[in-house]
Amino acid sequence: METETDQIYHLDVGNLLGFNPNHRFPSAPSSREELVKECIEESRKLVQAIANALFNFTSTETNDGPIVQLPPPTTKLPREKHVPRPKPPTKWEEFALKKGIQKRKKDKVVWDEQTDQFKRRHGYDRVNDDNDVPIIEAKATDEPGEDPFAKRLDEKKKRVGKQQKNRLQNLKAAEKAGALPSHVQLAATSLPISGTKSQPKKIGKDELGDVAGLAATSTASGGKFDKKLPGEKPPKKQSKHHQYLPVVAGRGAVNPEKEQTNNVLSKIFSKHSHEILNVGKAINMYNVKKEKKKSGRSDKSGRSDNLKPKKDITKKPANKAK
């Protein structure tokens, strides 16, 4: 839009964008409101200019209102993602190109000779299903002990495996060229150390800690001075838990080690050593044992041992005498 004052607006109708490069705002604005008013007035003119262009386009009437075809935007803005890269041809595609093999469109439904009807090519009740053959005639080249049905299954498995391998190779080549299809992800899975096909179990936090501790002990100072990561706990003690009393006593304190040994000795050599032994209990136990021996000798002929409830020797009898 050109006005008489030779103001040319840069309009980008595709983006509904208008730019007026010629307006000069006064460097000492009169007041905030005046400034705001001026800005809005200038923008109104720009919007009017864009609308003039828009409403003059041919519009198609629909239920929601007139629809206008917008021209492509003229301002160049950077893309958000890279342009999609072309996929490298797969091994088969290269081979087909070399040999001149054309792709032929296959029908979904094929005529089946055996049952005179049309059957689908893939899926349930398909034509020429490999599993459905009832009789496989033996050829002269077949060995007598071989199962041809099992052989067929085996061959199919091999074919499927080969196809998977080829697919993986093609995808790897596509990934290298940066053109992996959007829904496919190639993930690295860890190889099991042994020859098994099972996936190695994921290590938990505690196990990791233990392993780290083990690794630390292989250092010269047994992992004591290793720099610890934030959040790493001090290593657990692996051996027996001894508590050694101090040999030299502190100021005024009794020598604890001496004390300890003295206590033990006094217990053994005490005048009241009979107090250590529970005499009543000992007598009871002796008597019971004696009675058992007696009863055991008389009952040996008649009863078998299996019927008697077996006495649990690890369990100590209840202390009734105390």
Partner 1 sequence: MLEIRTPKTGKAKRVLEKRAPKLVETGKKTLILHGTKTSATVSSVLMELYRLKKGGAIKYSRRNENIRPFESGGETSLEFFSQKTDCSIFVYGSHTKKRPDNLVLGRMYDHQVYDLIEVGIENFKSLLSFSYDKKFAPHEGTKPFICFTGEGFENVPELKHLKEVLTDLFRGEVVDNLNLTGLDRAYVCSAISPTKVFLTHCALKLKRSGTIVPRMELVEVGPSMDLVIRRNRLPNESLMKEAMRTSKDKPKKKEKNVDQDAVRGKIGKIYMPDQKLGEMHLPDKSKGLKRERKESKKLQEETDSKKKKKSSE
Q: Nearer Cβ to partner 1, position 85 or 151?
A: 85
160 makes contact with partner 1 (CB under 8 A): no
- Please tell me the distance from the alpha carbon of residue 87 to that of residue 70, in angstroms, as a whole number: 33
- The kind and range of the H/E element at 119 are strand 117-120
245 makes contact with partner 1 (CB under 8 A): no
Write out the two tokens for 98.
Answer: 């070399």
**Among candidate residues 3, 76, 78, 86, the one with its CA nearest the CA of residue 46:** 3
| Rounded least distance, CB 46 to partner 1, Å | 4
| Rounded least distance, CB 82 to partner 1, Å | 5
| Rounded least distance, CB 5 to partner 1, Å | 15
89 phi/psi in degrees, rounded to 5: -65, 145
Residue of the chain from 188, 193, 247, 307 that contacts partner 1 (CB under 8 A): 188
Task: Using DSSP, state whether 147 is helix, strand or coil.
Answer: coil
Residue of the chain from 114, 117, 182, 298 that contacts partner 1 (CB under 8 A): 182
Query: How far from each other are the two terminal CA atoms of the chain, in whole angstroms?
Result: 116
220 makes contact with partner 1 (CB under 8 A): no
11 phi/psi in degrees, rounded to 5: -110, 135
**CB within 8 Å of 314: residues ≥ 6 apart:** none
Q: Nearer Cβ to partner 1, position 64 or 312?
A: 64
> Exposed/middle/buried for 41, CB within 10 Å: 0-12, 13-18, 19+?
exposed
Among 23-31, 102-110, 145-153, 235-243, the segment contacting partner 1 (CB under 8 A): 23-31
Q: Nearer Cβ to partner 1, position 164 or 217?
A: 164
| Rounded least distance, CB 90 to partner 1, Å | 14
80 makes contact with partner 1 (CB under 8 A): yes
Among 34-42, 96-104, 228-236, 312-320, the segment contacting partner 1 (CB under 8 A): 34-42
- Are 222 and 214 in contact by the 8 Å Cβ rule? The answer is no
Write out the two tokens for 302.
Answer: 């008649």
292, 295, 297, 299: CA torsion to nearest 10: -130
43 makes contact with partner 1 (CB under 8 A): yes
Point out which residues bind partner 1 (CB under 8 A): 15-25, 27, 29, 32, 35-36, 38-40, 42-44, 46-48, 50-52, 54-56, 59, 62, 64-70, 73, 75-84, 167-168, 171-172, 182-191
